[in-house]
Amino acid sequence: MKTKEFGRFALFFLIVFLIEVSLNAQPSEKLVKVAVAPDHADWIYSKGENVKFKVTVTKNCEPLQNVKIRYEVGPEMIGPTIKDTALLKDGSIIIAGGTLKEAGFLRCKVVAEYEGNKYEGLATAALNPELIKPTVEYPEDFIPFWDKAKRDLATVPLDVKLTLLPDRCTELTNVYQANIQNYKIGMRLYGIVSIPKKTGKYPALLRVPGAGVRSYYGDVTTADLGVITFEIGIHGIPVTMDAGIYNDLGKTTLDGYPFFNIDDRDKYYYKRVYLGCVRAIDFIFSLPEFDGSTLAVSGGSQGGALSIVTAGLDNRVKFLSAFYPALCDLTGYLFGRAGGWPHMFRDIKAGKEKIETAKYYDVVNFAKNVKIPGFYSWGFNDVVCPPTSTFSAYNCINAPKELLLMQETGHWTYPEQNEKSKQWLLKKLAPNVGK
């Protein structure tokens, strides 16, 4: 390989690595640590039960003496009901957080001041999360609306264009950029498809993306194990361009895309996204290497939402895995509680048209139509996709489901969570892998 080509190859891998780290990174280490936790080991209470938060401020793993803190407690994502300060003589304190009369989440935020710097910590207690019900309404014509959209999609030719990416291929897998037609003539969908080289029929995994604008590398590791993988972008642009292009698009043309045309259910941006997921399945089913049946979908955040949406839209999906799904119970803020990302009814005026459109795109309403086994995982401290919103959707699912709670996590995952999801999917897709 020539020096210049090797340099570009190494740079690409560095960019991919940094993107993955930024998407899944745990909080950075700080000199002073503010640990906050409810006094129940599982962080779960009954509504009406008083919650207490344990706070410990440490430096070098030792309690910090005479440190000043300020704290606030209240329903997550809503204004605090308690605000106060305290001096921690021995580095710890118990805060009485009160309770909630209804099922939900109570959050305690703490800020410690030390040598002119501020250090933060938070914890979120659950009160009967299994009883949380959604606020969003289910439209009478929800199914007809999406059935018509899928019929319209079916009239559009796939028009598949595959470009081999030799530098990404392995001894066992061929990797391509796939360029296919979405639900309107001329509207494209791009992704990275990884196909085992050995002749045979294989199960498939559709990987759907988190929010943002970026390139994608594809899931070659899983493909090497004998599973076709297709990792898609949602914006109708190639997914192998220089990082600077995506950065520019994210700050200009695609800035704020989750709000584009939110006042029109037929023109809302996520219509192309949701139907793009169905179109991705059309493409997988067109592959001669696909076994014609065994298909799963997986993603986190926006991708968690798309996993549930795709499973609710398309009965060709047999399994799903979703981390902290976005777009759940968007109207929560209109009822005085946390709503899902992108928090549209907290940040923009809630006009009638916007509320009506949201009903057709809210993950809650797709969750009600999920009929397949699913693996789900999130934490209580998520300030991007609040657990009030994710439980609103999860509690509506009447199919076999497994929830892995990692209470202290925010909008990030532990490696153990990712491994459990991977093993769950492989067990469903390719039970003989590794045997």
Residues known to be catalytic: 301, 382, 411
* Residue with tokens 């204004």, as numbered in its chain: 79
Residue 157 makes CB contacts below 8 A (sequence gap 6+) with 181
Which run of H or of E encompasses 215?
A: none
First to last CA, the chain: 36
CA distances from 132 to 125, 177, 300, 394 (A): 14, 42, 21, 9
Vertex 413 angle, CA 415 and 315, to 5°: 100
Side chain identity at 223, as an amino acid letter?
Answer: A
Q: Where are the alpha helices (DSSP H) in 48-168?
A: 142-154
Pairing verdict, β 62-63 and 51-59: antiparallel
Listed as own residue / partner, the contacts of 258-266 with beta carbons closer than 8 Å and 24 or more positions apart are 258/211, 258/342, 258/344, 259/342, 259/344, 259/348, 262/344, 262/348, 262/354, 262/357, 262/358, 263/351, 263/353, 263/354, 263/357, 264/353, 264/357, 265/145, 265/356, 265/357, 265/360, 265/361
Q: Where are the alpha helices (DSSP H) in 317-414?
A: 344-347, 352-361, 363-367, 387-394
Q: How far apart are CA 274 and CA 206, in angstroms?
A: 13
Q: How far apart are CA 148 and CA 406, in angstroms?
A: 39
Q: How far apart are CA 171 and CA 13, in angstroms?
A: 18
Burial of 273 (0-12, 13-18, 19+ CB in 10 A): buried
Alpha-carbon torsion 420, 426, 432, 435, what sign? negative
Closest CA to 364 of 334, 400, 338, 340: 340
Closest CA to 88 of 115, 56, 51, 61: 56
What stretches of 249-327 adopt beta strand conformation (E)?
290-300, 319-323
Closest CA to 53 of 109, 9, 115, 12: 109
